[in-house]
Chain A
Amino acid sequence: MAEPTVRMSGIVLSSLMFQHLNSDSDVEGLILGESRFEEQVTISDTQSDHIHIEEIYNIQKHIACQKLQNFYNSVGEVDQDAIKRILADNKQESVIGWYRQRRNTDQQMALREKIVHENLKSVLSNPHMIFLLLTPSKLTSPGSTHRTEYAAFISRSRQVINVPVLVNNLGLLEQVAYCKVSALCSAVGYNLTMKKHRSEFFSSNGLLRDVNEVNKMSDSLQSELQKACEDVEKSERLLEALQADVSDLRRRVREKSQLNVLFLSADADDLPVEPKRNLLLHDAVRALFTCGPLFQSQTLTLDAFPVLDFSHSPEHSANTATEILNPETQSSEQPVSELHPGRTVSRKRLIEFQVGREHKRMKT
């Protein structure tokens, strides 16, 4: 089934509107252009061939009538002579329809318009004609904004079908619209110029002369581009490999430095897995207490205090004995702690304790 489409350039639409704007009544006239039928076959994997017929009306020009009801009478009978007078030098074959502009009315064909349309089709022997209707109206009550609705109508089996009008370059831009609509120009000067210079650009088969050269250049460009892509790919792969090598080397260096650190720390202590020691403290304790009678003692008092054992330290034994026997001689020379040179060992108390203990022993 044919789906009609009506196309019009913005220039023609604005020209129509301008004509009505400057008229104090409804206006009407004839529309010139071309109409064609295109058969489109859609092939898909899911369904069989689908044939789609597209009916395209291309409005290119309009001729205004000097007054209303110029080419028809009160019952819509069309006067062919009047049509010819209106057309003047234009060809009757280029008439694809007629138009009317009426203010403040609905976007519907009126009674006489339908009758005129049918009669025009038969008079011009063209079953495919359109009726273009423009209906301006006030959008706001003060009249600051006006609106013009426009639509085309075709009649099939005495049924009127509303066909939307597409204005070229207005609204959504369709690539198809650009390609399909060929703006035929009827100007004589234009046609003469084209005929004169055509052979310089077109070959005998109708194609542009330089098309082949351009195609070759395009192929060369494509191959150069291909090569450049390959070079880029190679360099990228090389770069990737180098980066991998660098990462590997860094990892090995890091591991090696870690091992070195570990080895160094293991030689110093000879106990690679033992925890670190406070060597100074260790020396001090050893110095102070290794031969000390307190640590050598294996005897405890009743109060669980160890009894000093002097047998393992002769030096200390002598000093200690002296101090026990002569407690008065202890006062001026206080033994200095090896750990804290500023401190003195409080032996006085120890001695008194020892005397007390000895005393206790003696008693018991």
Chain B
Amino acid sequence: MSPEVALHRISPELRPLLCSVVRNGRVGLDSTNCLRVTDLKTGCTSLTPGPCCDRFKLHIPYAGETLKWDIIFNARYPELPPDFIFGEDAEFLPEPSELPHLVQWDAGNSECLLQLVKELIQQYHHYQCQRLRESSRLLFEYDSLLEDPNYGRNMEIYAGRKNSWTGEFSARFLLKLPVDFSNIPIYLLKDTTLDPGEDVALLSVSFEDAEATQVFPKLYLSPSIEQGVVEYDAEGFTKLTLLLMWKDFCFLVHVDLPLYFPRDQPTLTFQSVYHFTNSGQLYSQVQKTYPYSPRWDGNEMAKRAKAYFKSFIPQFQEGAFANGKL
């Protein structure tokens, strides 16, 4: 259901509340996915002329899942706050005092519903973290990430239900990676009306069992980042190709992680997008001996690599112009 259709069918008194949800409803880490509204229904009799819908299902992206919550208003009492049914999470019972926008519900404030939903999601996050206590191993993983200031406040946890066959407990962590995207070059959008949203890189880690013996990572990049990344190995994450620009000079950087990374240093291959060699290949230079230490963490490695790019690019550009053909 498109936002326009939903807004058309909703009761006029409730329209402002819903409008901010469907238009500005980006919640959680995955800001690329908006809140969606479906199953618009009414609490009035079938003889009541429309539009009079006052209850609907809200789809909320969370930790790689989609929560489906029922939100129930009353068209004849638009001033009253809504009630919620949390789908399969029937045991989720947030503390009302932790929901300020419910305590001080203001039907005249069009942002009230959206803010209330955000507060509920926050409570839902706490509820899921509590459920991690069923697995000491997963709780340990969570606590470790919590202590890291890069991830502590940028995590969404979903503790799945136990598998009815095996009795296993599973969980998913969605982490927002602390990446600096300021040097991503400007790119053209295919659809100029579509807001690409914030640049974000999310890592989803699925634990298929309580002992974390089966772990499946997955990387999500926001559209703008995907534009900057030409390609990458989505399974093993051992290769990455970036399109970068330095002083109007565009070039490709291929990063290859060796088998024994981080012990062994990644290979950087710089490639010009303008110049060719005599054999018809793009002019490129391979670098294997740049400043590197296996003791650095991922962010430090990226930072040092970025610094190296800045120092090496002028030299590479000269070589491309000197030895390559346009």
Residues of A within 8 A of B (CB): 21, 23-26, 67-69, 74-76, 102-106, 108-115, 138, 143, 146, 158-160
A103 vs B45: C-alpha distance when bound (angstroms): 8
Chain A residues, Cβ within 8 Å of B75: 25
Chain B proximity of A194: nearest CB distance (Å): 43
Q: Mark B48-87, 1 if CB is under 8 A from A, else 0.
A: 1000000100000000000000101011110011011110
A111 touches B45 (CB 8 A): no
Among the 9-residue stretches B94-102, B170-178, B275-283, B285-293, the one with 4 or more Cβ atoms under 8 Å from chain A is: B94-102
A160 touches B90 (CB 8 A): yes
Please pick, from B43, B46, B72, B80, the residue contacting A110 in the complex, using a CB distance under 8 A: B72
Instruction: List the 8 closest pairs (A to B, CB-CB), nearest first.
Output: A75-B96, A104-B41, A25-B76, A110-B83, A111-B84, A74-B81, A143-B46, A112-B83
In addition to A25-B44, A74-B80, A110-B70, 6 A-B residue pairs with Cβ atoms within 8 Å of each other are A25-B74, A102-B72, A104-B55, A111-B83, A115-B96, A146-B46
A76 vs B96: C-alpha distance when bound (angstroms): 8
Chain B residues, Cβ within 8 Å of A138: 46
A111 touches B85 (CB 8 A): yes
Chain A residues, Cβ within 8 Å of B72: 26, 102, 105, 110
Chain B, residue nearest A101 (CB): B43
B90 touches A108 (CB 8 A): yes
A69 vs B86: C-alpha distance when bound (angstroms): 21
Chain B residues, Cβ within 8 Å of A75: 96-97, 99, 102-103
Chain A residues, Cβ within 8 Å of B77: 25, 67-69
Q: Interface centre among A23, A74, A110, A159, by most B CB within 10 Å?
A: A74
A113 touches B83 (CB 8 A): yes
A67 vs B76: C-alpha distance when bound (angstroms): 10
Please pick, from B44, B70, B93, the residue contacting A103 in the complex, using a CB distance under 8 A: B44
Chain A proximity of B121: nearest CB distance (Å): 14
Chain A residues, Cβ within 8 Å of B84: 110-112
Q: Interface centre among B48, B70, B72, by most A CB within 10 Å?
A: B72
Please pick, from A69, A106, A158, A159, the residue contacting B85 in the complex, using a CB distance under 8 A: A106
A75 vs B85: C-alpha distance when bound (angstroms): 15
A75 vs B70: C-alpha distance when bound (angstroms): 17
A69 vs B81: C-alpha distance when bound (angstroms): 10
Chain B proximity of A5: nearest CB distance (Å): 22
B contact residues, range: 20 to 34
Please pick, from A23, A68, A103, A106, the residue contacting B42 in the complex, using a CB distance under 8 A: A103
Chain B proximity of A325: nearest CB distance (Å): 132
Chain B proximity of A76: nearest CB distance (Å): 6
Q: In terms of DSSP, what is the predominant structure of the interface of chain A?
A: loop
B316 at the interface (CB under 8 A from A): no
Chain A residues, Cβ within 8 Å of B46: 138, 143, 146
Chain B proximity of A302: nearest CB distance (Å): 115
Chain B, residue nearest A160 (CB): B90
Chain B, residue nearest A75 (CB): B96
B251 at the interface (CB under 8 A from A): no
Please pick, from A103, A105, A111, A146, the residue contacting B86 in the complex, using a CB distance under 8 A: A111
B142 at the interface (CB under 8 A from A): no
A253 vs B42: C-alpha distance when bound (angstroms): 96
B105 at the interface (CB under 8 A from A): yes
Chain A proximity of B110: nearest CB distance (Å): 18
Chain B residues, Cβ within 8 Å of A24: 44-45, 48, 76
B43 touches A25 (CB 8 A): yes
A158 vs B96: C-alpha distance when bound (angstroms): 15
A26 vs B91: C-alpha distance when bound (angstroms): 24
Chain B proximity of A104: nearest CB distance (Å): 4
* 27 pairs, A vs B, C-beta closer than 8 Å: A21-B45, A24-B45, A25-B43, A25-B74, A25-B75, A25-B76, A26-B43, A68-B74, A68-B80, A74-B105, A75-B96, A75-B97, A75-B102, A105-B43, A105-B72, A108-B90, A109-B85, A110-B83, A110-B84, A111-B83, A111-B85, A111-B93, A111-B94, A112-B81, A114-B93, A115-B93, A158-B93
A26-B74, A110-B83, A112-B83 known; A104+B43 contact, CB < 8 A: yes
Chain B residues, Cβ within 8 Å of A143: 46
A203 vs B317: C-alpha distance when bound (angstroms): 117
A146 vs B42: C-alpha distance when bound (angstroms): 14
A74 vs B94: C-alpha distance when bound (angstroms): 14
A112 vs B77: C-alpha distance when bound (angstroms): 16
A106 touches B96 (CB 8 A): no
Chain B proximity of A266: nearest CB distance (Å): 96
A112 vs B83: C-alpha distance when bound (angstroms): 6
Chain B residues, Cβ within 8 Å of A25: 43-44, 74-77
